[in-house]
Structure 1
Amino acid sequence: MTFSLNWRVLSLSLLLVGGSAFAADGAPKTAPVAAAHAASLRPGHAAVASANFHATEAGLEVLAKGGNAFDAAVAVAATLSIVEPESSGTGGGFMAVLHRAKDGRNIFIDARETAPAAVNPKDYLNPDGSPNRDTALRGPLSSGIPGQPAGLVLLSSRYGRLPLAQSLAPAIRIARDGFQPDERLRGAIAGTQKDLERWPASAAKYLPGGKPPAEGAVWRDPDQARTLELLAAHGHDGFYRGEVAQKLVKAVRAAGGNWTLADLAGYQAKERTPISVDYRGYKIVTAPPPSSGGVAIAEILNILSGYDLTKMDAATRAHYIIEAMRRAFRDHNDYLGDPDFVQMPLDMLLSPYYAAGLRQGILPDKATPSSMLPRAEAPEPGMHTTHFSIIDADGNMAAVTSTVNYTMGSAFVAAGTGVLLNDEMDDFALVPNKPNVYGLLGSAANAPAPGKRMLSSMSPSIVIGADRTAVIGSPGGSTIITQVLEGILHFIDGESAQQIAAHKRFHHQYLPDVVNVEEGTFDAATGDALTKMGYTLKPRESWGFMNVVTWDRKANQLDAASDPRRPSGLGKVQ
């Protein structure tokens, strides 16, 4: 069924006139969240959950030295750049939702990468006009200007307690002294070996002796240690100007890229107002554009607020959640992009009245076929992003999702810097209405332009209820949105951090019109019922590694959990 913007606005207008099951101010009729009360409490101890135990321990080390959650976030992110480069790093970017305990303020940090000034869409096309997957995913043309270093400087200078150098110290030490790569990193290097071999600096760093590091081998990263030392000493200019910037530009241009020193010098991380939505008495604080995740999560929750999921059998509950996912992803494809470049109808997309209109099109016992755009199949994506969650002793919170996009980013290391560059240019709609590597479609709203931030699925979130709080997020490409959504629903249903992180998952993103399902998510009867409703269930093995911290304020108890799908992860209460 094809909907135009005019139809949607008309539907919204009719609902405004006709009334609905929402309060006069447009908010759902749910119990108010005791936000002021929540802000007045402090847990007295801290918790960190990340996908690698080195990173979790780095965060706890900085907390023990007097740092707060924001200093710890710098330590965790920088350490992940060393020990988990397949998923995030200095050459990538991040998005963070923060909660500051002293005044209850919620903050969003946008350290998303940007397109260089010389970006040319023709560089990403084959002669026949089809997408060139190689230039979009591998090598320097696939790389946006990194945002993570600027984001870490902003996080430390505006919200941290410690000097930046102290927060970066654990990562610098690990890079200099070495660590033993885990099985996942060794596997990622082996899986991208042919790409890494294309560039001498990449091969030298990741293929010592011409092959991936052996199990138990100690691996050092002196070039990245030096890069982080310069960032620690000089802040923003330590990466975006001077020695590091010159090496980055020289390496990129020598390999056929188009970065300039001005691209780097002009990069700025930004603060934006996070999205907030109320659902069943909880306030969900999540990521605004250029993330599509927060808008989609808010839209899905607004649709679901018209149902009592707790009284439904498993198949009916899944049916309504899938249909809400389907509609939110359709809007994701149509409207969203970088807010500095694109006017988006966010008031409409986030309106409970608009959600009520979408709800009217959901049949109680039948799937709605996705037919607005041609069906597009994409290769099954891996989980090449990372997320960590932190609550400190004062109640400050950080939900941070960081990425280099696909496995090992662009596979291109800038010689002399140790920096593995991202391949985030593929997150633009390089060819309108053609899928990217995650199967997501895009419109002109997400077309590349000089200095523009590409749309992201990253969805770091904080969930605040009258008595319980959660800091949550996940990697997973396009499945980030639905995994975080499901985690939020499970938390609101009363589940623990461990239960949330381990929960089986399912995903629908409008196109392709299939429901990706983790083994064990649905029993046979539920699967049969969904199939009879018209759903195509497709098994999927790869899911993100969710990291969750919860705070039971009644018992004043913190809980931290790292996804059991990632054995090297660690959730720890200090």
Structure 2
Amino acid sequence: MKSIAHLLLVSLLAFVPAMAAPRDTAAPAALPPGVAIASGHELATDAGLEILRQGGNAFDAAVAVSSTLSVVEPISSGLGGGGFFLLHDAKTGKDVFVDARETAPAAATQEAYLLENGDFNRDRATTGPWSAGIPGLPAALVHVSEKYGNLPLEKSLAPAIRIAKEGFPVYGRMVRGFAAKREVMERYPGTRAVYLPGGKPFAEGDIFRQPDLAHTLELLAEKGFDGFYRGETAQKLIKGVNDEGGKWTADELAAYQVRERAPIVFEYDGWKITTAPPPSSGGIALAEMLQILEPWDLAKLDATHRTHLVVEAMRRAYRDRTFYLGDPDFVEIPQRTLTSADYAAGLRATINPDKATPSDMLSGKQTPMEDEETTHFSIIDAQGNRVGATQTVNLLYGSGLIPPGTGVLLNDEMDDFALKPGTPNAFGVMGYDANAPEPGKRMLSSMTPTFMESDDKITVLGTPGGTRIITMVLLGILGYDDGLDAQQVAALPRYHHQWMPDVIDAETGAFTPEVVKGLRAMGHTVEVPGEEEGNSRRSSHVWGNLQTVAWDLTTNTLSGGTDPRNPVGAAKVELSKP
């Protein structure tokens, strides 16, 4: 018997009217009174402010923040990874999505990730040379700077270069992450040279200097794209990967291109939502979930029923994520259908307001989390330009491999492909043909940088957190809709459902005992931290690192919110001089 969701999709594919264009929000009466930046590390926030003071715009600041995060948050992102940049150009009113997701090397076929007995080779998919896709972040820095910035790339990269040379204090999350990944990182001479100088790992408070990474950044600043994807750096990357048994080619590196894509745009409760299109799964999932939820007045519901309805919306969107989403350059995605209000209405009709829908009732075929070690930043400048950017190397410290002489810690994003159909990746999610690897193809992502606009407020938000990214952004949108301020949104308690496994994950303290009891009475399985010892699926009792900024148009004030779960993050506002 075909599933409910499958029948709805097939019937709507025949004819779905184009999604109604969101109404234009009212033009702000004034420019912002200054600038606001929120990022996962204070040094990165300060780097962005430094560039703005020098006459740069939000896009120059984004290059500074992104590159500095690549230096000070190696656990989360870097030049060896990729990311998505959501941009708003205030002068033209245009929104654009810059896709700098990593791409698959030609040698990375599904067969390359199988053991001789046909089992999935988890180690090859998550560590070392075969786990790494061709990096996209350096190309994005060049693209954003040259096409949208006011300043030369050399100036915008200067803070990151300086910090890489001079060093910065090591913080606790770096130490804990290295301890968890040490066995992998000790395998590779280039990594040992950076992270185990003298044979000893760094300790919290040590000054961490990265001269090789500084040199790589200097070449990027001097030569642009060719400074990373051709010449000295490219040769070192290829040699480092291939000496460890991988198969990268010079042609693959030189052929990398960022893609500019049209963002997904839809309305929710008077807000215009602008968000990430494929190969991110976030925008389509947000459109489904919020349009499913819109007819309900969530603010008037008790906490149990509100959570139940939000979870049921999550369940249906993640089911569709699994089967239909991938790289739009390689796969035909029914985006118009999946983001339509009609399709959402059909899914809404399958929700029992008082009872959980078992996930296997929605399963028409066979199921997709990117790691929490990702990072996000949000920017609004004094001209009204804005940037929401999320970047990653996937698992903590990525593949663990630094090609000698580069300082570039490579990603392990190949695990985000469906390397063996129907087999869960490192985060318990799986995929099928739409997300199978092909040469040059981009793996499916959950990164979801998002803008919200109403008649009286503009916000930028996003977070790391694997497939939980999408649900954290959802809860952030609902928080702003409830009237919370930026810091309250960043601090919201979190819960998550991703269709399979059929369970609600919740942070410590996210639900009262009464809500947990009520959800279980409705038929939900709820995992509460502390109830079960040795829970192997949950990586922590809290998750995410949401960074958000907001511009209140009625009071013409700026604010920022940085996630209290991350002690080194910083949200700062600087007012323009009269």
TM range (shorter): over 0.9
Q: Which runs of 4+ in 1 moved over 4 A?
A: 13-16, 372-378
Give the secondary structure class of the aligned counterpart of 2:168: coil
**8 Å contact kept, 1:383–1:542:** no
Cα separation, 2, equivalents of 1:95 and 1:290: 10
TM-score (norm 2): 0.94
The structure 2 residue matched to 1:37, chosen from 27, 33, 56, is 27
Amino acid corresponding to residue 50 of structure 2 in structure 1: E
Distance 1:369 1:238, change over 3 A: same
**8 Å contact kept, 1:429–1:443:** yes
The aligned residue for residue 172 of structure 2 is 183
Cα separation, 1, equivalents of 2:183 and 2:513: 41
Instruction: Identify unmatched segments of 5+ residues in structure 2.
Output: 529-537
| Deviation digits for residues 200-236 of structure 1 (CA, Å, limit 9, x no counterpart) | 1111111222232122211110000000000000110
| Deviation digits for residues 294-338 of structure 1 (CA, Å, limit 9, x no counterpart) | 110111111111222122111111111100000000000010000
Cα separation, 2, equivalents of 1:375 and 1:336: 14
**8 Å contact kept, 1:87–1:408:** yes
The aligned residue for residue 61 of structure 2 is 72
Cα separation, 2, equivalents of 1:440 and 1:490: 27
Cα separation, 2, equivalents of 1:401 and 1:253: 29
The structure 2 residue matched to 1:249, chosen from 238, 241, 256, is 238
| 1:375 positional shift | 12
| 1:542 positional shift | 3.7
Instruction: Indicate whether 1:398 and 2:392 are aligned.
Output: no
Cα separation, 2, equivalents of 1:383 and 1:135: 20
> What is the count of residue pairs matched by the alignment?
562
Give the secondary structure class of the aligned counterpart of 1:420: coil
Report matched runs for 1:134-533 at 5 Å.
134-371=123-360, 383-533=372-522
Cα separation, 2, equivalents of 1:377 and 1:273: 27
Cα separation, 1, equivalents of 2:130 and 2:10: 43
| 1:120 positional shift | 2.2
Instruction: Indicate whether 1:555 and 2:544 are aligned.
Output: no
Give the secondary structure class of the aligned counterpart of 2:208: coil
| 1:126 positional shift | 2.1
Cα separation, 1, equivalents of 2:102 and 2:465: 18
RMSD: 2.0
Give the secondary structure class of the aligned counterpart of 2:157: helix
Higher alpha-carbon deviation: 435-444 or 233-242:
435-444
| Deviation digits for residues 77-134 of structure 1 (CA, Å, limit 9, x no counterpart) | 1011111001000000010111111121111000000001222222211223222110
Cα separation, 2, equivalents of 1:167 and 1:9: 46
Give the secondary structure class of the aligned counterpart of 1:192: helix
**8 Å contact kept, 1:15–1:357:** no
Cα separation, 2, equivalents of 1:392 and 1:438: 36
Report matched runs for 1:14-163 at 5 Å.
26-27=19-20, 33-38=23-28, 41-163=30-152
**8 Å contact kept, 1:33–1:465:** no
**8 Å contact kept, 2:416–2:443:** yes
Give the secondary structure class of the aligned counterpart of 2:169: coil
Q: Give the percent of matched residue pairs that are identical in Structure 1 and Structure 2.
A: 54
| 1:489 positional shift | 0.8
TM-score (norm 1): 0.95
Cα separation, 2, equivalents of 1:413 and 1:66: 35
The aligned residue for residue 20 of structure 1 is none
Distance 1:552 1:221, change over 3 A: same
**8 Å contact kept, 1:113–1:453:** yes
Cα separation, 2, equivalents of 1:70 and 1:426: 30
**8 Å contact kept, 1:377–1:439:** no
| 1:46 positional shift | 0.2
| 1:529 positional shift | 0.6
Cα separation, 2, equivalents of 1:402 and 1:13: 33
Distance 1:5 1:34, change over 3 A: closer
Amino acid corresponding to residue 180 of structure 2 in structure 1: G
| 1:42 positional shift | 1.3
Distance 1:26 1:68, change over 3 A: closer
| 1:2 positional shift | 4.8
**8 Å contact kept, 1:306–1:356:** no
Amino acid corresponding to residue 212 of structure 1 in structure 2: P
Amino acid corresponding to residue 190 of structure 1 in structure 2: A
The aligned residue for residue 19 of structure 1 is none
Instruction: Identify unmatched segments of 5+ residues in structure 1.
Output: 17-23
| Deviation digits for residues 163-183 of structure 1 (CA, Å, limit 9, x no counterpart) | 001000000000011111111
Amino acid corresponding to residue 288 of structure 2 in structure 1: E
Amino acid corresponding to residue 573 of structure 1 in structure 2: V
| 1:424 positional shift | 0.3
Instruction: Indicate whether 1:536 and 2:525 are aligned.
Output: yes
Cα separation, 2, equivalents of 1:123 and 1:25: 41
Cα separation, 2, equivalents of 1:111 and 1:478: 18
Cα separation, 1, equivalents of 2:378 and 2:34: 14
Cα separation, 1, equivalents of 2:258 and 2:220: 15
Instruction: Indicate whether 1:568 and 2:558 are aligned.
Output: no
Distance 1:406 1:143, change over 3 A: same
Cα separation, 2, equivalents of 1:13 and 1:112: 28
Higher alpha-carbon deviation: 7-16 or 192-201:
7-16
Cα separation, 2, equivalents of 1:173 and 1:58: 10
Amino acid corresponding to residue 215 of structure 1 in structure 2: E
| 1:27 positional shift | 3.7
| 1:439 positional shift | 1.5
**8 Å contact kept, 2:71–2:160:** yes
**8 Å contact kept, 1:381–1:542:** no
**8 Å contact kept, 2:5–2:347:** no
**8 Å contact kept, 2:366–2:422:** no
**8 Å contact kept, 2:168–2:209:** yes
**8 Å contact kept, 1:34–1:465:** no
Higher alpha-carbon deviation: 477-486 or 5-14:
5-14
The aligned residue for residue 21 of structure 1 is none
